[in-house]
């Protein structure tokens, strides 16, 4: 079975919702691979998320929780059809082409706005980690499990979950995060995708030190970020096992 969503079915839902909400749909964003996402009206973006993409179950809830601080505003939603309308960031360019120090400073600032206390309905990272770790193997998975066993996990902060260059866009209100895969956890967990982006995904040893230093200066724990790199990398970047194992 293909991992790709049924875009035609999602598009049908989008057209139905757009008609009811009286917004005109533009051309679908081609880079939205896991959902149907398209401009809606002059200032909105309509998104329809497939049911099997459970990591995004609470995306709209996260946007509502942040209330436009560091993230695109949630304008309207239809829970049953997994559709929601969000603020469109304009000009909407991401931070991947900026000098690395500038992009990192922006990420720190955005993160500081997003990492705030939260509770229900969000899931805790520690509750979903076992199913993710099952995808790892070998020495890297063993080290990840060892590190995890020695950590007292936090679950008091809402994290973005897919926090990286391509999910931070320019807007008239400053840089805004989009496309969260939110969980309850800790900021150090969230930093990891930023450290192996922008695309193509991979570790960048020459940039790791300055990036870690910037987040540490903002109050995050360098050692915990490194531990989370190994834990998350064990199932997301197994090809980088040698580098990851050298981090801790």
What pLDDT, on the 0 to 100 scale, is given for residue 1?
33
Q: How far is CA 238 from the centre of its chain?
A: 20
**Which of 31, 62, 87 represents a domain boundary (last residue)?**
87
What pLDDT, on the 0 to 100 scale, is given for residue 3?
60
**CATH of residue 63:** 3.30.200.20
Within a 13 Å sphere around the CA of 240, how many CA atoms are in the beta-carbon half?
20
Q: Determine the structural domain holding residue 210 and report its residue range.
A: 100-245
Residue 55: which pLDDT band, with cuts at 50, 70 and 90?
A: confident
How far is the C-alpha of 208 from the C-alpha of 175, rounded, in Å?
22
What pLDDT, on the 0 to 100 scale, is given for residue 121?
95
**CATH of residue 197:** 3.90.1200.10
Question: Is residue 46 scored above 90 in pLDDT?
Answer: yes
Is residue 136 domain-resident?
Answer: yes
Is residue 93 domain-resident?
Answer: no
Pick the range with the lowest mean pLDDT from 1-5, 101-105, 200-204: 1-5
Q: What is the mean pLDDT of residues 27-40?
A: 90
What pLDDT, on the 0 to 100 scale, is given for residue 74?
98
What distances in angstroms separate CA 222 from CA 9, 22, 64, 108, 210, one per listed residue?
A: 44, 48, 30, 14, 11
What pLDDT, on the 0 to 100 scale, is given for residue 2?
43
Q: How many domains does the chain have?
A: 2
The whole-model pTM stands at: 0.94
What is the separation, in whole angstroms, between the first and last Cα of the chain? 38
Assess whether 109 and 220 both reside in one domain: yes
Is residue 2 domain-resident?
Answer: no
């Amino acid at each position: 079975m293909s991992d790709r969503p049924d875009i035609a079915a999602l598009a049908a839902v989008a057209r139905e919702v757009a008609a009811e909400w009286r917004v005109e749909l533009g051309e679908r964003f081609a880079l939205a691979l896991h959902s149907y996402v398209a401009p809606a009206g002059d200032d909105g973006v309509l998104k329809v998320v497939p049911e099997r993409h459970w990591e995004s179950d609470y995306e709209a809830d996260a946007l509502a929780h942040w209330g436009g601080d560091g993230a695109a505003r949630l304008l309207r939603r239809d829970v049953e059809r997994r559709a929601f309308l969000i603020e469109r960031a304009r000009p909407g360019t991401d931070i991947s082409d900026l000098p690395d120090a500038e992009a990192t400073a922006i990420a720190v600032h955005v993160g500081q706005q997003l990492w705030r206390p939260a509770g229900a309905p969000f899931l805790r990272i520690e509750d979903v980690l076992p199913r993710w770790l099952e995808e790892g193997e070998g020495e890297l998975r063993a080290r990840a499990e060892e590190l995890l066993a020695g950590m007292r996990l936090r679950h008091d902060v809402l994290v973005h979950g897919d926090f990286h260059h391509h999910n931070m866009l320019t807007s008239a209100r400053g840089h805004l995060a989009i496309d969260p895969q939110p969980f309850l956890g800790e900021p150090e967990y969230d930093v990891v995708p930023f450290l192996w982006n922008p695309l193509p995904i991979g570790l960048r040893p020459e940039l790791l030190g300055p990036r870690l230093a910037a987040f540490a200066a903002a109050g995050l724990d360098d050692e915990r970020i490194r531990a989370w790199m190994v834990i998350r990398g064990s199932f997301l970047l197994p090809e980088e096992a040698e580098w990851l194992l050298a981090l801790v």
